[in-house]
Amino acid sequence: MKRTLREARKHADLRRFLLCILFYQAGITAVVSLAAIYAEQVMKFTMQQTITLILVVNVTAAVGAFGFGYVQDAIGHVRALAITLVGWIVMVCLAGLSQDVSSFWIAANLAGLCMGSSQAAGRAIVGYVAPPARLAEFFGLWGLAVKAASIFGPLTYGAVTWLFGGNHRLAIFATGLYFVVGLALLRGIDVERGRREALA
């Protein structure tokens, strides 16, 4: 792993994208892990409503993963992921401001679409800018970034909720900052330059 990390320093766009993944995936993990709690605590969903919500969101996630494959081919990996991250930011705003069940359902299904598409786009970009001969190693770094994000995202949500007296709305807005940072990092990535470095 240390050797792979040293090798990653030679690939600026790949390195920046792994950092980008760390941020936006932290937001995704927090939203996915705590959606049921938010639905019950803030929107007052019953257990049955929450289970239905989770099932429907999984369907929309599959649609997002499948559909965005075609979008990536048409407009490019980075643009497709940028659209997805904007979608996450919109979703956070909708969820945080929702006062009725209908608007929250819209936010939840938008999260599902974005979840599937962001996972697909992230893997595609890593595969494109990583050296072909060391693809497995760099996908290992991708996995490491995702696992690290699974700690930071929920921890941030929990800390904000605890510090502000159980304010879940503020916690979801704080989680949204991860997507904003991820989008800012994404703007500096040139996948074609990264591809050339990977093939050099």
Structure tokens at 14: 């790949």
pLDDT beyond 60 at 4: no
pTM: 0.89
Tell me, what's the pLDDT at 129? 84
As a dihedral over the C-alpha atoms of residue 44, residue 46, residue 52, residue 56, rounded to 10 degrees, the angle is 10
DSSP annotation of 132:
G
Helices 12-41/135-163 angle, 10° precision: 40
Element (H, E) at 11: none
- Domains defined along the chain, listed by start: 22-199 (1.20.1250.20)
Q: What is the pLDDT of residues 16-38, one digit of tens each?
A: 888 999 999 999 999 988 888 89
Q: According to the model, what pLDDT value does residue 3 have? A: 58
Q: How far is CA 75 from the centre of its chain?
A: 19
Please say whether the beta carbons of 95 and 172 come within 8 A. yes
Give per-residue pLDDT as tens, 130-176: 888 777 777 887 888 888 888 989 999 999 999 999 999 999 999 99
Q: Tell how many helices (H) and how many strands (E) occur in the chain.
A: 8, 0
Half-sphere exposure of 193 (CA within 13 A, CB side): 12
User: Residue 82 CB: number of other CB atoms within 10 A?
Assistant: 18
Q: How confident is the model at residue 5 (pLDDT cuts 50, 70, 90)?
A: low
38: Cα within 13 Å, side-chain hemisphere: 31
- pLDDT band (50, 70, 90) for residue 8: low
Q: List CB contacts of 152: < 8 A, sequence separation 6 or more.
A: 22, 26, 178
User: How many Å separate Cα 169 from the centre of its chain?
Assistant: 19
> What H or E segment, with its residue span, contains residue 43?
none
Each residue of 72-106: pLDDT tens digit?
778 888 888 999 999 999 999 999 999 888 899 99
For residue 188, the number of C-alpha atoms closer than 13 Å in the C-beta half-sphere is 13
pLDDT band for position 123 (cuts 50, 70, 90):
confident
**How confident is the prediction for the chain on average, in pLDDT?**
86
pLDDT of residue 14: 84
Distance between CA 96 and CA 157 in Å, rounded?
13
Count the Cβ atoms, other than its own, within 10 Å of residue 74: 9
Res 80: pLDDT:
87
Higher model confidence: residue 117 or residue 47? 47
Tell me the pLDDT tens digit for each residue of 49-59. 989 988 988 88
